[in-house]
């Protein structure tokens, strides 16, 4: 007699595989935001501080823990700074909170995206009570259409 999976066992195995493959909503949002962005503009307390930026790249990483590498800003943000970040979802709004004492990033940011199909760019907007950031997604290994689909799913 051969060992066969019974239909109810097959359903259970399929369910477990799909459960393990499912990501929470926060994990889906984090993996969609993950990547590098070129800083277009940064304002802090109503002042445009873009001219003080030394390295205009910011990045969100989800490898081990959620880590954020801010842009390097003269006398304000150092090159070795990296912050933990977490997603807060309230009333269908995506928000990010950074674990830092840096006054530019120590706040809760509303996060939004604009998809520009004609130029195949994705624009990130982060706004807190004191800081406004505009950045454009850098596509290296990712495909614009894949990221666009993920963004549409989380909105």
**pLDDT, tens digit, 9 for 90 and up, residues 76-115:** 888 888 899 999 888 888 999 999 999 999 999 999 999 8
Q: Which residues have CB under 8 Å from 44's CB, separation 6+?
A: 103, 104, 130, 131
2-15, pLDDT tens digit by residue?
555 455 444 434 43
**In the chain, domain spans:** 24-154
Tell me, yes or no, if the pTM score tops 0.85. Answer: no
What pairs with residue 98 in β-bridges? 85
Residue 153 has pLDDT above 90, yes or no: no
Give 30: exposed, middle or buried? Use CB within 10 Å, 0-12, 13-18, 19+. buried
Q: The domain 24-154: what is its CATH number?
A: 2.40.128
């Amino acid at each position: 007699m051969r060992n066969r999976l019974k239909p109810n066992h097959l359903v259970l195995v399929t369910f477990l595989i799909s459960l393990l493959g499912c990501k929470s909503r926060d994990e889906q949002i984090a993996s969609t935001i993950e990547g590098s962005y070129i800083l277009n503009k940064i304002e802090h307390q109503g002042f445009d501080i873009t001219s003080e930026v030394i390295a205009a790249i910011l990045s969100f990483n989800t490898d081990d823990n959620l880590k954020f590498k801010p842009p390097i800003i003269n006398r304000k943000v150092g090159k070795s700074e990296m912050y933990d970040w977490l997603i807060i979802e309230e009333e269908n709004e995506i928000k990010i909170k950074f674990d830092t004492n840096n006054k530019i990033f120590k706040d809760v940011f509303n996060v939004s995206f604009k998809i520009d199909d004609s130029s195949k760019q994705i624009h990130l907007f982060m706004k807190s009570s004191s800081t406004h950031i505009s950045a454009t997604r850098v596509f290296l290994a990712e495909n614009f259409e894949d990221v666009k689909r993920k963004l549409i799913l989380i909105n």
